Amino acid sequence: MTTARHLETIDLLRSRQFAAEPGPSDVGSEGPGFHIAVLGGHPDPGDPYAVAGPDADLRAEAEQRRAEHDALLEALDHRWGDASLFDLTGAQLRAARTAPGEGDIPEPWLRLSSTVPWLHLWRVEGRWIGVGLSEFQLLAVVTANDPP
């Protein structure tokens, strides 16, 4: 996928209403106050809404995802200024110490903390827009929910 298509996906998510209930979407997953788009890569094995993809050369795919990630960050920095780097390790540690359903970490941050180690974040028109890269995926998030 190209940077232009990634930007189109992010713009589409910025214009959409948020879903009332968590579930899959045409580009990833969504729920109250958030959209998460899988821009590239294989499904995260821990994502309950993941759709299996074809096997491929994982090393070449990882290099491609890294290049797409870097190009997308450059384009978004050009649009909205330098991103803030948000470390999700603390959210992941807090989630690991609490029983399911009893944590204080709202979605999409809880789900993202189990998927990506950090996000590049911009605050645009009252919403957070983030881009993250994991071992498996290149992700974008649009959310009204403040980071933990």
What pLDDT score was predicted for residue 42? Answer: 64
Distances (CA, A) of 132 to 21, 26, 31, 90, 124: 23, 19, 18, 16, 17
**Is the predicted pLDDT of residue 5 greater than 70, yes or no?**
yes
Place of tokens 């050369």: 57
Please give the angle made by the CA atoms of 90, 95 and 99, to the nearest 5 degrees: 155
Q: Give the tens place of pLDDT for each residue, 32-43.
A: 999 999 998 865
Q: What is the pLDDT of residue 15?
A: 97
Q: Average pLDDT of 138-142? A: 97
pLDDT digits (tens, 9 = 90+) for 42-80: 655 555 444 444 444 677 888 899 999 999 999 999 999
pTM: 0.86
- CA gap 134, 75 in Å, rounded: 20
Structure token pair of residue 137: 């995926």
Residue of 108, 107, 144 whose CA lies nearest to 127: 144
Please state the rounded mean pLDDT for residues 95-104. Answer: 72
What per-residue confidence (pLDDT) applies to 147? 94
In percent, how much of the chain has pLDDT > 70?
Answer: 85
